Amino acid sequence: MNSALVSAAELAGLLDGPTPPVLLDVRWQLSVAKAGGEPPFDGRAEYERGHLPGAVFVDLDGELAAPPGEGGRHPLPDLAVFGAAMRRAGVSAGRPVVAYDGGIGWGAARAWWLLRWAGHGDVRVLDGGLPAWRGPLEEGPEVPHAAGDFLPEPGAMPVVDARGAAELAEAADGLLLDARAGERYRGEVEPVDPVGGHIPGAVSAPTSLNVGPDGLFRSPAELAERYQALGAGREGVRVGVYCGSGVSAAQEVLALEVVGVRAALYPGSWSEWVTDPARPVAKG
């Protein structure tokens, strides 16, 4: 595969081909307390209401992340847990994988990034997620698949820790992008983490601007123009991305990958940064 994205029409063709991809349903939403006691988002329930034929549900919180703690709200998962989840879903080293979610690409990009980081070279995200799919859907719980053989071997995608993120933000040849909404970057609101603001020197780059009004990623030309204006893509510039907990930032890394910019992910992101009161916080 030569792109991080696949269109719904292209995916339909691949599913009818000789080596159909493994489909991962990674529907997920940021958990924020809602007024009126509205129940939190339940990705598995949404999956059972309707999913792509043959897709397997992957639990982002339980299988694509370790338990929250000093490493943030979504630390990198235990490799044994992640590997077992991928094999359960049928993921094998020699078979392509397509991940999808409810639309904006956060959950699917998390799965894409983790698989790429762990050594799988043939992974894509369904552009537009489930809303873009025009084919049939299946309902009900997943049907057990033949187990895959994927064994994670991390290191194929760049990663930075808190110190590395700060260095990128300060260096003349570095660029640290903050993928959260602008109001969270500025510290005007913070619905999840105990402290608002951003890493000093980071540049605001909300993931919402990677997607057009049709719910699809903007064209490579539009994405390239956006990131060049932010300073990414210039020769010799090292790029890193963070968000609240390393989930939406993966969507930004994916968008940068589309335009040929390899960016490092700060997995702990803001939720890890603020666990140490000695780390500086900028606002505005």
Q: Residue 233 is part of a domain; what is its CATH number?
A: 3.40.250.10
How many other β-carbons are positioned within 10 Å of the β-carbon of residue 28? 23
Tokens of 70: 């000093």
pLDDT at res. 126: 98
Last residue of a domain, one of 132, 152, 174: 132
pTM listed for this prediction = 0.96
Q: 5, 98, 243, 264: which is the annotated catalytic residue?
A: 243
Predicted confidence at residue 108, as pLDDT, reads: 98
Question: How much of the chain exceeds pLDDT 70, in percent?
Answer: 96
Tell me, yes or no, whether 122 and 205 share the same domain: no
> Same domain for 99 and 176?
no
Taking CA atoms, 204 is separated from 32, 53, 127, 200, in Å, by 22, 38, 23, 11
Residue 239 has pLDDT above 90, yes or no: yes
Instruction: Enter the DSSP assignment of 244.
Output: S
Residues 188 and 112 both lie in one domain = no
| pLDDT at residue 32 in the model | 58
Model confidence pLDDT, tens digit, residues 89-120: 999 999 999 999 999 899 999 999 999 999 99
Together in a domain, 107 and 166: no
Q: Based on the fold, state whether residues 29 and 99 are members of the same structural domain.
A: yes
Q: Are residues 168 and 227 in the same domain?
A: yes
> Residue 140 domain-assigned?
no
Residue range(s) defining the domain that contains residue 264: 162-273
Is the residue at 200 inside a domain?
yes
| 64 inside domain | yes
Do 77 and 166 fall within a single domain?
no
Last residue of a domain, one of 132, 149, 177: 132
Across residues 68-85, what is the average pLDDT? 97
Residues 11, 121 within the same domain: yes
Mean per-residue pLDDT, 144-173: 96
The whole-number average pLDDT for the span 179-198 is: 97
Which pLDDT does position 35 carry in this prediction? Answer: 53
CA R_g for the chain = 18
123 and 12 within one domain: yes
Question: Would you state the pLDDT for residue 36?
Answer: 59
- SS3 label, residue 77: coil
Residue 62: what residue type? G
Strand pairing partners for 72? 69
- Note the pLDDT of residue 3: 87
Could you tell me if residue 145 is inside a domain? no
Please say if the pLDDT value at position 37 is more than 90: no
Strands 22-25, 56-57: pairing is parallel
Query: Structurally, how many domains does the chain consist of?
Result: 2
**Residue 1 reports pLDDT greater than 50:** no
Active-site residue 243, yes or no? yes
Domain boundary among the residues 83, 112, 132 is at: 132
> Quick one: pLDDT band at residue 229, thresholds 50, 70, 90?
very high
Sign of the C-alpha dihedral, residues 108, 157, 64, 24?
positive
In the predicted model, what is the mean pLDDT of the chain? 95
Q: Which residues pair with 175 in a beta bridge?
A: 239
Reference 237, options 267, 265, 273, 264; nearest CA is: 264
List the structure tokens of 52: 């792509």
pLDDT at position 231: 96
Q: Residue 264 falls within a domain, yes or no? A: yes
Residues 105 and 182 in one domain: no
Half-sphere exposure (CA, 13 Å, Cβ side) for 244?
25
Q: 9 with 121, same domain?
A: yes
